[in-house]
Every structure is written in C-alpha cells, then in structure tokens.
Chains A and B, each alone.
Chain A
Amino acid sequence: MADLTSLASMVEKGKHLETARLTKELLDQGMDPNQILNEGLQKGLLTLGERFKRNECFIPEVLLAARAMHAGMDLLRPLLVGTDAKPLATIVLGTVKDDLHDIGKNMVGMMLEGGGFRVLDVGVNVSPEQFMESVQKEGAAILAMSALLSTTMPYLKTTIEALESKGIRDRVKVLVGGAPVTEEYAKEIGADGYAPDAARAVDEARELLGISA
C-alpha cells in the first residue's frame, strides 16, 4: 500500500516510474494533491539535498531525484490548479551574459522547486536587461544568477548595478552562485545571498525571505 514515506523514498532514490505509480495510487486513495506534493515529492528531493550538502551523494543522483519528482508533479499539476496551493515566492533564475553553462543552474532550479518556490528559468546568456525585465514582469522576490566562468562572473555585478540604476534593487533579493563565485565575492558585489551548491540555494532563498524551514 502506498504511503507518503515510501513516495518520498522513491523520489530520493531517483525512481521516476515508481514515483509516478505511487503518486497515482495516493491520488486514487483520495489523498490531497497538496499533501502529496509537499510531504512526498518535495520532501524526497529535499532529503536528498541534505545529503548533497554533506557531500554524501553526487550530481547524477540529484538529477535522477528531480526527474522522479517531476514525474509525480506532472500527475498533480492539473489537480493543483484551482486549489489554494501557492508557491512560497517567485524566483527568476538564469546564467549571466556570455555564459552558456546550464547544468548547475538547472539543478538550482530543480531544488528550489522542490523547496516550494515557483521558478522562472530564463535560460543562459541572459543580459542584465533581460533579467530586469523578467524580475519586474513576474514580480519576483528573488533573482538567482549563476556564472561558471571567471570571465563571465563580472556580469553578476553588472546586473546588480543595472537593478540599482533602474531604482528596483530594493524590490528583489539577489542570490548568486557558480564554480568561481565565493561568498566574499558575493558580498563585494552587493549580492544578498550566496550558495555554494543547489541544496544550499534553497536554504539561502528561505533565509532571504524570512521563511522558516
């Protein structure tokens, strides 16, 4: 018999077919889709995220778990429309200008979704103007930017400066990350938060918005 603990465990183990099967079973049993989402699917990914933070699992395992979570979410999505389920906040996410790297950024997106946020992924090679436009249009609470190259990292700063000159810097929290980015650099350029990996991006996003875990 399906239960939320085994559903979360299937997500954590990255079993997408099993996850979809259990999600369907729980729905058939009449369980609230919001509960399935929060206490099953998202919980599974976040539990794996905790292990990822402790260096106890590898990137592929996060990708597998995120795929499993999505396999379940696909079944829930039509049922969640019209309920009062609301994401914690909207986060605009992208890789900075001149940088085409996306796997780290994608993982951050998956984890943030697992953490209950609505993530608007605006892709790679995103100019400061495009970031600003999305932030304004979506009413994003957080702008999360990634840079993989030391040569593109300065665009994190350029984008923050662009927010300032447009007078909207105080409306959005800025979260940065990527291989060459450090906490020190994040502070130096005036970002609000820094995360060294995808799992910690969730913690940092919650902290920036004052949401208790």
Chain B
Amino acid sequence: MKPRERFLTALKHKEPDRVPQLIRWGKEIGERLSQIFGVSGEDLGPRIGNDAIVCQVGINALMEMSVGDLSEGETFTSEWGVVYQRQSGFNNPIKHPIEKREDLDTFKWPDPNNPRRLDEIKRVMKKYHNDYVVIVDLSSSLYEASMAHLRGMENFILDSYDDPEWVGRVLDGLADYYSTLGTHAVKEGVDIIRIGDDIGTQTGLLIPPELWRQLVKPRLRRMIRSFKKANPKIIILYHSCGDFSSVFDDLIELGVGFISTMQPTGAQADYAAIKKKYGDRLAFKGGLDTQQLLPHGSPAQIREEVKKLLRAYAPGGGYVFMPGHMLYQDVPTENIWAMMEALRDYGKYPLKI
C-alpha cells in the first residue's frame, strides 16, 4: 500500500495495512536521525516511514526548522515585522510589530497573492504527491498568530476584553490573508490544509470557550468555507497544543474532520473517552506524551504507552500516529527507537493488541 493511500484510508475511518505515521522533530533530533539513516533534510521523513509531507507556509514556519542556520541567541526580523530570537533550538518571537493598538492602522499585511509563496508547494507536490499525502500548514492562523507573533500575549488577551472590535480587525486581517493563500494551495491539488492556533493549556482552553466562539470561530468558518469552495473534498486538519477538547464540537460544526496533536493532558489524557465521544466524526493525529514520557521515560514504558494509545485510537482507522508534539533534543535516541519499534510491532491491521 502506498503511503498516500494508507493515510487517506485512515482518514476515511477505515483500516489500512498499518497505522499511518507522521513523526516530526526539531533540528538536533534531525541531525541525530540523519546520521543513523544516512538521509537528511526532507527525505528523512519518508525514510523513517512517514506517510505525509508537511509544507509549512504559515507564520509559525519561522519558529521552527526553516530558519535552521541561526546560532543560539541570534535574531532576525520576518516579513510580518516580528523579531525572533533563537533559543534552545527554537525561534522565539521577542518583539511584536503591533506594539500599540494604533499601529494596526499602518500595519503592512504581507501579500498572499505573491506567486513565490506557491513555489515550495509546487515543488513538494511534484516531488511527493504521487506517493505521499501533502499537507499545507497555515498555522498559526488566528488567535495564536495575533497573540504570539503580531501583538504579544498579555496585550492581545487584554485587548480581547478591552476592545473586541479591534481584535476582530486583527483576526480579519489574518483570515483574509490565509483564506487567499490557502485557496491558492487548495487549487494546487494538495490533500490537506492544516490550520490552527495553540489555544490549549495543560488543563483546558487558554481563553474562555465563549470568547473563542465570539472572536475566533466566525473567522475560522470563513477560512474553511473559502477552502471548501475551491475543493469541497479538501480535508481540514486543525491543530492546537494542550487540551482543546472543549471546542471539538465547534470544530466539527465548522467542517474540521481531522485534529492534532492530541497532547495527553486535561480531558485528552483519557484517549479511550475521546475516541468514544468523537471518533465517528473526527480523525486524530498524535497523542504520545512529549513532556514526561519521551524525554524521561524508559523504553519499556514507552512501548506500553504506544500500545495503550493504539488500542484506544486506532481501531476502525481514523488515527495517524505521532507524538503529542515535535521531538526535541531532550528525547534520548533509544526512546525514539522504542517508540518506532512499538509502532511497527503493534500498528499493523488487523490490530492484535
């Protein structure tokens, strides 16, 4: 079975030959895996068994691997005017372009129609789409993009109460940008559009769900409508870190059929309950703990947890294996091994666990 068929079969809530996977990592883990497998860069994913390729074109792309040449402590400014600093292998936003609310009036939104933005998508489609699922990642999309990148976290949270109308303008600017860019991507024939914001914490939503429904949901609806207008069959993957289960029903209503990364915290710690409640309407990706288990657990514990995860999420398809986040440098190689071996041993359909 081709990786592409495997992945798409699972998303149709059917059982392919094995549980599809999409494991992702930071720079240091990438270097470690490259040495082991003798393959580097984007070819490493397929080499270790990933069934999909992610093409990151959203604002978060700048936080992760794509600016891999910076040294620790170094800074750069993005086209959005955000200043990032490299720290712990990650580019952290440290200065925001909308320092004062009136800065929005003169803020220059990047041009979503710049054809160069599609270069990477076209290249990836040509190279991989025959065999692999291609995911175009437009995250972070709305609340996180505003909060973490454009305005600063505490400021944007307080703005949400002090001047919701102004907050609506920021979110509209992002929704416009991403609706246009995402529509171009859909027209390139990609399989999945990934949108999302990190709105989950260890125990539940960062902001009250009612506030999310008031400010974010209408803009999300508009974005998803424009993608589905370009291709009614486009699969919408929504991502948040943390526990965001309080808005799963809202996401389903908006036409989201696939969510990640199922960090096992808060209500999401109970895999079986989540699968039971939403498994007929949502496919899931992720779930293996990266906060405690992968960096500090033993290979035996990891093996057990992979088994437990698969037992809960994998029956009937609707599941793609991945840790609850990207892998970072604190995960020992033997633990990555234990995870991959467990997936190989227990991830074959029909499941025998």
Contacts and interface: CB of A to CB of B under 8 A. Distances in A.
Interface string B291-305: 110011000000000
Contacts of B205: 58
Given A14-B161, A150-B290, A59 B207 contact: yes
B160 A60 contact: yes
Interface in B133-156: 153-154
B157 interface: yes
Contact of A67 (B92, B158, B292, B328): B158
Of the listed residues B87, B89, B205, B291, the one surrounded by the most CB atoms of chain A closer than 10 A to its CB is: B87
Contacts of B153: 103
Contact of A98 (B88, B161, B204, B206): B88
B211 interface: yes
Given A55-B203, A60-B157, A179-B202, A100 B94 contact: yes
Contacts of A63: 154, 157-158
Interface string B190-209: 00000000000111111110
A99 to B, nearest CB: 7
Given A98-B88, A106-B154, A60 B161 contact: yes
B120 interface: no
B206 A152 contact: no
A152 B88 contact: yes
Contact of A179 (B92, B94, B291): B291
Given A64-B161, A150-B295, A55 B204 contact: yes
B328 A150 contact: yes
A59 to B, nearest CB: 6
Given A55-B204, A99-B87, A64 B158 contact: yes
Contacts of A180: 291-292
B179 interface: no
B292 A125 contact: no
Of the listed residues A55, A61, A152, A180, the one surrounded by the most CB atoms of chain B closer than 10 A to its CB is: A180
B291 A150 contact: yes
A64 B201 CA distance: 18
Contacts of B203: 55, 197
B329 interface: yes
A123 to B, nearest CB: 12
Contact of A58 (B158, B206, B291): B206
A60 B208 contact: yes
A103 B328 contact: no
A77 B94 CA distance: 31
Nearest to B242: A179
A182 interface: yes
A149 interface: yes
Contacts, number: 68
A99 B88 contact: yes
Nearest to B158: A63
A30 B14 CA distance: 73
B252 to A, nearest CB: 22
B154 A151 contact: no
A200 to B, nearest CB: 12
A188 B207 CA distance: 33
Contacts of B160: 60
A59 B206 contact: yes
A61 B207 CA distance: 9
Nearest to A62: B157
B330 interface: yes
Given A100-B94, A150-B290, A150-B330, A60 B207 contact: yes
Interface string A129-162: 0000000000000000000011111100000000
B158 A60 contact: yes
A182 B292 CA distance: 9
A58 B157 CA distance: 11
B42 to A, nearest CB: 23
Nearest to A182: B292
B200 to A, nearest CB: 11
B268 interface: no
Interface in A105-139: 106, 125
Interface string A27-71: 000000000000000000000000000010011110110010000
Nearest to A181: B291
Contact of B88 (A64, A67, A149, A197): A149
A168 B299 CA distance: 37
A55 B243 CA distance: 13
Contacts of B161: 14, 60, 64
9 contacts: A59-B206, A60-B161, A100-B94, A125-B87, A150-B290, A150-B295, A150-B330, A151-B329, A152-B88
Given A55-B204, A58-B207, 18 more contacts: A58-B205, A58-B208, A60-B207, A98-B87, A98-B88, A99-B88, A100-B85, A100-B87, A106-B154, A150-B292, A150-B295, A151-B88, A151-B328, A154-B330, A179-B202, A180-B291, A185-B296, A196-B202
Interface of B: 72, 85, 87-90, 92, 94, 153-154, 157-158, 160-161, 201-208, 211, 290-292, 295-296, 328-330
The 4 A-B residue pairs whose C-beta atoms are closest, nearest first, are: A180-B291, A98-B88, A100-B92, A151-B330
